[in-house]
Amino acid sequence: MTASEIGTTLGHEHHDRAITIVVNTRPCEWTERTISYEEVVELAYPGQPIGEADEVTVRFTRGHAEKREGSLTPGRSVKVKDKMVFDVYRTSRS
């Protein structure tokens, strides 16, 4: 599933044009005005299930003026802008 398909299936509002966000150093085209924690995780680890022993941290930088940087937690979302950067860290407890 592409980045655009992920957002479209959730019914987000669209940008007038696709923008580029960066997820774990990989550019991704995004057409929605917001992105959720779950969508960022799916872009970072496409098709990989997240188990109960896994912990995923999502941090972002280069956001909008009102929230230039921060963290996303499950169930939350953030407005996106062109060249916004997301770093997604996955750790497993043994």
Residue 72's CATH number: 3.10.20
Within 8 A by CB and 6+ apart from 71, the residues are: 57, 58, 59, 60
Measured CA to CA in angstroms, residue 17 lies from 23, 33, 87, 88 at distances of: 19, 10, 23, 25
| Full residue range of the structural domain in which residue 77 is found | 3-92
What's residue 17's pLDDT? 86
What's residue 78's pLDDT? 97
8 vs 76, residue with greater confidence: 76
Q: What is the pTM of this model?
A: 0.82
d(CA 76, CA 16): 23
Alpha helix positions (H), 10-91: 37-44
34-93 tens-digit pLDDT: 999 999 999 999 999 999 999 999 999 999 988 899 999 999 999 999 999 999 999 998
Q: Look at the chain and report how many structural domains it folds into.
A: 1
Q: What is the mean pLDDT of residues 23-41?
A: 97
